């Protein structure tokens, strides 16, 4: 699968290439060998082709940074397009936040603002085609 991103802003952070699409303002992330960045036209603006791995599975990444202060990013991947339900829970199981996302096959990133959360331990999950994955999130505000 290939995606062409036009007018993208590129930033580099500790082995991660982050591409902010200038057209749709979506964020694409290439980490190590997960997605191969094929072409960069300039330092700040680029037309980039990202070639996705064809052996994708349903995965949920650990939020970065953890512990979180303000913004944190959570990566996930799905093998086929479909509905993804993202939830944030307290340790007692109370749902604090729910998003239903229509996602294409591939890798995705959710940016989460934790500034309104009290410091403590939370859990986040994604559900996709009857499967659920859960990770722990620590907030230090």
- Residue 54: the pLDDT is 53
Question: pTM for this one?
Answer: 0.62
- Residue 45: the pLDDT is 36
Task: Determine the Cα–Cα distance for residues 37 and 109; give it in Å rounded to an integer.
Answer: 17
The 10s digit of each residue's pLDDT in 42-97 is 333 344 444 444 568 999 999 999 999 999 999 999 999 999 999 999 999 999 99
pLDDT at 103 over 70: yes
Contact 63, 112 (CB under 8 A): yes
- Residue 78: the pLDDT is 94
pLDDT at 22 over 50: no
Across 25-52, average pLDDT: 40
| Average pLDDT score, the chain | 74
Task: Determine the Cα–Cα distance for residues 136 and 100; give it in Å rounded to an integer.
Answer: 20
- At 98 the three-state DSSP class reads strand
């Amino acid at each position: 699968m290939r995606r062409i991103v036009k007018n993208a802003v590129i930033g580099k952070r500790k082995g991660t290439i982050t591409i902010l699409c200038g057209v749709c303002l979506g964020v694409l992330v290439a980490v190590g060998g997960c997605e191969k960045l094929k072409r960069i036209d300039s330092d700040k603006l680029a037309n980039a082709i990202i070639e996705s791995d064809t052996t994708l599975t349903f995965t949920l990444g650990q939020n970065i940074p953890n512990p979180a202060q303000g913004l944190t990013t959570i990566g996930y991947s799905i093998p086929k397009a479909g509905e993804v339900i993202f939830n944030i829970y307290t340790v007692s199981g109370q749902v604090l936040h729910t998003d239903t996302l229509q996602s294409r096959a591939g890798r995705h990133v959710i940016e989460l603002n934790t500034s309104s959360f009290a410091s403590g331990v939370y859990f986040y999950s994604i559900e996709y085609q009857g499967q659920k994955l859960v990770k722990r999130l620590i907030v230090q505000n």
